[in-house]
Amino acid sequence: QVQLVESGGGLVQAGGSLRLSCAVSGRTFSIYVMGWFRQAPGKEREFVAAISWRGTNTYYDDSVKGRFTISKDNAKNTVYLQMNSLKPEDTAVYYCNTARLAGSTWSGGMDYWGKGTLVTVSS
């Protein structure tokens, strides 16, 4: 059974940085497109970033482009999200999942979601 364990969240001031990690087990991690998603209070979960299975291609939502960087380590079955220049509007619970693209819309590839990690950015 697949397990997704997100970590690295916390409270940070606007302009600060955090690095999120997602440890994946129970699947052949390296063959999947992996993504980060987030859900702010009272809002729908939304796409943040994705990375191809080789790590050569990355994709970002416009709201984080230039500030966030997604990466992965297939040997460690871990995907990362480096978040710089954080803004209060980045406050959300962040989740990882496999990612799939339909048209221009990214969504989680598995019904299963981990518990996520909370990022709070104060102004």
pLDDT (0 to 100) of residue 2: 78
Please check whether residue 119 is in contact with residue 90, taking contact to mean a CB–CB distance below 8 angstroms. yes
pLDDT (0 to 100) of residue 53: 87
pLDDT (0 to 100) of residue 66: 98
* Residue 116 to residue 30: CA distance in whole angstroms: 21
* Residue 5 to residue 117: CA distance in whole angstroms: 9
pLDDT (0 to 100) of residue 99: 94
* pLDDT < 50 positions in the chain: none
Task: Name the β-bridge partners of 51.
Answer: 34, 58
pLDDT (0 to 100) of residue 95: 98
